[in-house]
Amino acid sequence: MRQRVMRVAVVAVLVALLLLATPLALGIQTSFFADERAELERAARSAAVHVPPRFVVGDRVELPLHERGTDLGVYDLSGRLRDGSGPRTADSVVRAAQDGVVTRGRGDHQMVVAVPISVEGRVIGVVRASSGTPQVWHRIILAWLALAGVALVALATAVVVARRQARTLSAPLEALSAKAAAVADGDLTARAEGSAIAEIDQVARIQNTMVEHLTRWLDHARHFTSNASHQLRTPLAGLQLGLEAAAAGPDAGLRAAVTEALEQVRHLQRTVDEVLRLARATPRPGGPTAARPAAELVEDVECRWHDRFAAEGRRLSVGVEPGAGGLPIPDRTAEQILDVLLDNALRHGRGTAEVAVREMGGAVAVDVSDEGSLKLGPQTVFERGATTSRAGSGIGLTLAREMAEAAGGRLTLARTAPTTFTLLLPVAEPPPSHE
């Protein structure tokens, strides 16, 4: 990743430098030659001013000082060099200037400028100025070397900046890749961290969301077996007791025992349906579900649990406040949660267990209490495995809270002494009537 980013950046800088330096180098060459021609013309014009009118009759000419390396000569109309330096006879550039126009040209590795000498509108001679092109090329090459040095400095700066930018871009991606690899290796706690790049941050957020959803799905799948075994244990125990009573009792009680066993089988079927609904990867709180009046539901729960509490020498009491018994609540969810709470009271509590139903402004509150006390805190008690003992698996209260939340309700520990749990469920909407 870093090498690719650096390669792209360096190539882009090289292309930009070539596109910029090539015309600039050509411009330097053209400018230097143009400057040299202009300098030669200035020298020739300056010399032409110093040529006296009696030049035509043989007077000498005192040429002005000029730059070293420049040849400056005065020619008469016959093409003979009268003074200065240059070819002994006029070349084509000098002959062209005899027509009264400034002439520029090139000779043998030279640049030549010829300026006519005019007196009263008549050309009496020509001043020729020339210099060697190698001198101009020397200056051009020095300028090109300076330009190349600047380009190398720009390229080096670009490499440094490209390395820094490559590190800035690749470091978050490498960290994101490492977190993804950790998740692939089974570490579902790995989360991608933020960076200074918005696009990479968005990818990191999406990955974290994906891992969180995956974690929840795996938790549902991982807990399904333990949830199912926990919830099926109670109705299976009741079914076993009923069948044992039918096998040991007289024929007169056989029908009642079988009826009780059938009721336990129906309850077992409802338990299986509820556990499977809860095991869905994405439960939808508040979805459509069967509902029954709260009073009718707790009466059925009392019937199932009365004998089991009596067998332990304990009493189960149910109370419904006026106005709360007719409110419909999700029956399967409420049944499963109450089964967990009563099983917990039977195994870990003592004394009389009470179930109280009351109305709370659009919701139904069900309090399940006993005369025991709880040492765990309101949050710890609902952690999976927090109450594990030889008499239980430690997942019942966790499962009960999950079922309550899946139904849009809430299960809390109201008091630790005496132990009291409060189940708050929304009142279910009555099904539409068909007239």
Instruction: Please tell me the least confidently modeled range out of 8-12, 53-57, 88-92.
Output: 53-57
**pLDDT score recorded for residue 422:** 94
CA 78 vs. chain centroid, Å, equals 87
> What mean pLDDT comes out for the span 87-100?
90
> What mean pLDDT comes out for the span 394-400?
77
Residue 431 structure tokens: 């099904």
Q: What is the pLDDT of residues 338-362, one digit of tens each?
A: 988 998 899 889 999 999 999 988 8
User: How confident is residue 227, by pLDDT bands cut at 50, 70 and 90?
Assistant: low
Query: Within 13 Å, how many C-alpha atoms sit on residue 165's CB side?
Result: 13
Residue 194 structure tokens: 């933020």
More reliable by pLDDT, 235 or 62: 62
> What mean pLDDT comes out for the span 94-122?
89
Phi, psi of 433, deg, nearest 5: -85, 140
Phi, psi of 233, deg, nearest 5: -65, -45
- Angle 331-348/254-278 helices, nearest 10 degrees? 110
Q: Collapsing DSSP states into helix, strand and coil, what is residue 152?
A: helix
User: How confident is residue 187, by pLDDT bands cut at 50, 70 and 90?
Assistant: confident
**pLDDT score recorded for residue 4:** 77
> What mean pLDDT comes out for the span 182-208?
81
> What mean pLDDT comes out for the span 192-206?
80
User: How confident is residue 199, by pLDDT bands cut at 50, 70 and 90?
Assistant: confident
- The 10 Å Cβ neighbour count of residue 414 is 14
Question: Is 50 exceeded by the pLDDT of residue 419?
Answer: yes
Find, among 325, 309, 324, 424, the residue nearest to 370 by Cα: 309
User: How confident is residue 335, by pLDDT bands cut at 50, 70 and 90?
Assistant: confident
Question: Is 60 exceeded by the pLDDT of residue 290?
Answer: yes
Instruction: Please tell me the least confidently modeled range out of 2-11, 40-49, 346-355.
Output: 2-11
Find all residues with CB under 8 Å of 405, minimum gap 6, and list them: 285, 411
Show the domains of the chain with their CATH numbers: 2-142 (3.30.450.20), 191-283 (1.10.287), 289-426 (3.30.565.10)
**pLDDT score recorded for residue 96:** 92
> What mean pLDDT comes out for the span 169-192?
80
**pLDDT score recorded for residue 283:** 46
Residue 242 structure tokens: 């009923």
More reliable by pLDDT, 149 or 377: 149
**pLDDT score recorded for residue 281:** 41
**pLDDT score recorded for residue 262:** 66
Cis ω before 322 (30° cut-off from 0)? no
Residue 282 structure tokens: 């994405």
User: How confident is residue 104, by pLDDT bands cut at 50, 70 and 90?
Assistant: very high
pTM greater than the 0.85 cutoff: no
- Eight-state DSSP code of residue 423: E
Please, are residues 24 and 147 in contact by the beta-carbon 8 Å criterion?
yes
Mean pLDDT over the full length of the chain: 81
**pLDDT score recorded for residue 219:** 72
**pLDDT score recorded for residue 245:** 65
Taking the C-alpha atoms of residue 103 and residue 98, their distance in angstroms, rounded to an integer, is: 9
**pLDDT score recorded for residue 103:** 93
Find all residues with CB under 8 Å of 198, minimum gap 6, and list them: none
